[in-house]
Amino acid sequence: MASFFGFPNPVNETSARIVAAGAVVMGALFVATGNGWILVPLTYGFIARVLSGPKFSPLGRIATQVITPRIKVQHRFVAGPPKRFAQGVGATFTIVASVLMLSGADTAARVVIAGLVGAAFLESAFAVCLGCIMFGWLIFSARSLATTSNQG
């Protein structure tokens, strides 16, 4: 069961950036057109990746097995848990946008996905993972809280 829900650690940052670029394209298409059907593969992809990495994500598979091996650069590997957390943030954004679309709040759904597009663009273009930064803050806060709790 662990291998089914396994997430790669470390993660090839090139692959992560390619997946982020795919999310930018799909998200921008949704923001531009308002076509709610675009949210289906976008949401599925984030959920699949947070649960099991690229295994069941078409975009993840294309990035890791087709595109990344053909890119002749020095690949950088980064910690998996922050990337998994970032996929969870993306899943949350897309689920919220899907619920908003289904409830008739199309503009709000577009705004939520525009935020996702902005974050995914930073990852794909500049290797700035906002979800990873959030993960670091949460871990630091939890450790700080645990340290101060044990002093009393």
Residue reference for tokens 């998200």: 27
Q: pLDDT tens for residues 22-80?
A: 999 999 999 999 999 999 999 999 999 999 999 999 999 999 999 999 999 999 999 99
Q: What is the largest CA-CA distance in the chain?
A: 56
H/E segment holding residue 78: strand 77-78
Q: Is the pLDDT of residue 1 over 70?
A: no
Stated as kind and residue range, the H or E segment containing 11 is: strand 11-12
Confidence of residue 3 (pLDDT cuts 50, 70, 90): confident
Kindly report the CA angle at 59 between 12 and 14, in degrees rounded to 5?
20
- Using pLDDT thresholds of 50, 70 and 90, give the confidence band for residue 4: confident
Average pLDDT over residues 87-101: 99
Which residue would you say has higher pLDDT here, 6 or 87? 87
pLDDT at 121: 99
- Model pTM? 0.91
Share of the chain above pLDDT 70, in %: 95
Q: How much is the pLDDT for 12? A: 97
Q: Provide the pLDDT for residue 73.
A: 93
